[in-house]
């Protein structure tokens, strides 16, 4: 009788562990990015976009529309042939501290947790030096 009860408990625990594993895989989608650290992104004036694209460097333009503050970011694609456009939303305080002509690194929480080339999201932290060094 005792042996039968122990066997039942072992089977139930094994099933619960398996179900917990499945829920974890489905819930967190282990191969998805939820946040990123960007490489160095230089803030430029809107009229300098075409000139800056010739240099093959990542850059951003500050945009303020009504109560909406964001960066329109142009990052070099992995192939290096073109640019990937993204939008980084900011608080007014963070938006005001960004200076044109300076380079910044950003920690961005993504709006969608997919591996698409566009990295639209909200800036959580701004760095003036590379945080990964």
Q: What is the per-residue pLDDT across 65-77, written as a single tens digit (0 to 9) for each?
A: 988 999 999 888 7
Following DSSP, what letter does each residue of 108-119 receive, concatenated? Answer: EEESS-S--S--
Three-class secondary structure of residue 27 per DSSP:
helix
- Report the percent of the chain where pLDDT is more than 70: 89
pTM of structure: 0.69
Per-residue pLDDT at 115 exceeds 60: no
Q: What is the DSSP letter of 11?
A: H
pLDDT at 34: 79
Three-class secondary structure of residue 35 per DSSP:
strand
- How is residue 122 written in tokens? 């909200």
Measured CA distances, 86 to 25, 40, 96, 112, 133 (Å): 28, 14, 20, 12, 24
| pLDDT band per the 50, 70, 90 thresholds, residue 54 | confident
Task: Give the highest mean pLDDT range of 5-19, 28-42, 50-64, 68-82.
Answer: 5-19
Rounded Cα gap, residues 76 and 113, in angstroms: 20
Rounded Cα gap, residues 110 and 126, in angstroms: 15
């Amino acid at each position: 009788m005792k042996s039968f009860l122990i066997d039942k408990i072992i089977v139930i625990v094994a099933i619960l562990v398996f179900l917990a594993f499945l829920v974890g895989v489905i819930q967190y989608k282990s191969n998805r990015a939820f946040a990123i650290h960007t490489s160095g992104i230089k803030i430029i004036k809107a009229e300098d976009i075409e000139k800056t694209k010739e240099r093959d460097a990542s850059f951003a333009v500050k945009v303020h529309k009504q109560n909406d503050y964001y960066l329109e970011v142009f990052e070099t694609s992995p192939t290096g042939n073109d640019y990937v456009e993204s939008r980084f939303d900011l608080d007014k305080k963070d938006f005001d501290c960004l200076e044109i002509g300076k380079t910044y690194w950003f920690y961005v929480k993504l709006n969608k947790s997919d591996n698409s080339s566009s990295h639209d999201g909200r800036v959580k932290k701004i760095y003036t030096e590379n945080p990964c060094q």
